[in-house]
Amino acid sequence: MKLTIYEIAEKIGVSASTVSRAINHSTRSKVSDKTLKKIDAVVQRYGFVPNQTAQNLRLSTSKTIGVLLPYHKGIFYHPYFRHIFSGTFDCLFETNYKFKTVILQHGESRWEKHDFKNGEGVDGLIISAWPSFFKSRNAFKTVNVPCVLINDYDPETPGCYVCHDDFQGGYLAASHFYARGHRRLAIMRGRSWGSISNLRVAGFLAFLKEHNLTVDEHLIVNGEFNEQDAYRVSENLLKSKDQFTGVFCCNDQMALGLIQKLKEKKISYPDDISIIGFDDITEAGALKPSLTTIRSPIYDIAREATLILITHLADNRKRKKLDGYKKFPVSLIERASVKKIIS
179 and 264 belong to one structural domain: yes
The rounded distance, in Å, linking the Cα atoms of 231 and 87 is 30
> Which residues does 18 contact at the CB level (< 8 Å), separation at least 6?
9, 31, 35, 39
- For residue 149, count other CB atoms closer than 10 A to its CB: 25
In Å, how far are 71, 162, 171, 196 from 222, measured between CA atoms? Answer: 19, 25, 19, 13
What's the pLDDT at 22? 83
Closest CA to 62 of 107, 120, 115, 16: 120
Contact 84, 150 (CB under 8 A): yes
What's the pLDDT at 53? 47
Closest CA to 117 of 56, 69, 50: 56
157 and 244 belong to one structural domain: no
What's the pLDDT at 211? 98
276 is a domain residue? yes
279 and 179 belong to one structural domain: yes
- For residue 41, count other CB atoms closer than 10 A to its CB: 11
50 prior amide bond cis, ω within 30: no
101 is a domain residue? yes
With 0-12 CB in 10 A as exposed, 13-18 as middle and 19+ as buried, what is 43? middle
What's the pLDDT at 76? 84
59 is a domain residue? no
310 and 290 belong to one structural domain: no
Amino acid symbol at 181: G
97 and 194 belong to one structural domain: no
303 is a domain residue? yes
The rounded distance, in Å, linking the Cα atoms of 129 and 229 is 18
75 and 186 belong to one structural domain: no
What is the span of the domain harbouring residue 87? 64-164+299-329
184 and 279 belong to one structural domain: yes
The rounded distance, in Å, linking the Cα atoms of 305 and 291 is 29
What's the pLDDT at 85? 94
What's the pLDDT at 57? 44
DSSP state of 125: E
Helix residue spans in the chain (DSSP H): 5-12, 16-23, 33-46, 52-59, 79-92, 116-119, 139-142, 166-179, 195-210, 227-237, 252-264, 282-286, 298-314
39 is a domain residue? yes
181 and 283 belong to one structural domain: yes
Helix residue spans in 95-159 (DSSP H): 116-119, 139-142
206 and 262 belong to one structural domain: yes
> Which residues does 19 contact at the CB level (< 8 Å), separation at least 6?
5, 8, 9, 12, 39
The rounded distance, in Å, linking the Cα atoms of 278 and 100 is 28
270 is a domain residue? yes
Which CATH number characterizes residue 40's domain?
1.10.260
214 and 232 belong to one structural domain: yes
Amino acid symbol at 207: F
29 is a domain residue? yes
Amino acid symbol at 173: A
What's the pLDDT at 92? 94
> How many domains would you assign to the chain?
3
Tens place of pLDDT for every residue, the chain, 343 residues? 678 778 888 888 998 888 878 877 667 888 898 998 888 888 888 776 555 544 554 456 778 999 999 888 888 888 899 999 999 999 999 888 999 999 887 765 567 777 888 788 899 999 999 988 887 788 888 888 999 999 999 999 999 999 999 999 999 999 999 999 999 999 999 988 889 999 999 999 999 999 999 999 999 999 999 999 999 999 999 999 999 999 999 999 999 999 999 999 999 999 999 999 999 999 999 999 999 999 999 999 999 999 999 999 988 666 678 899 999 999 999 999 999 998 7
29 and 176 belong to one structural domain: no
72 and 170 belong to one structural domain: no
> Which residues does 42 contact at the CB level (< 8 Å), separation at least 6?
3, 8, 11, 12
Q: pTM for this one?
A: 0.81
18 is a domain residue? yes
Which CATH number characterizes residue 315's domain?
3.40.50.2300
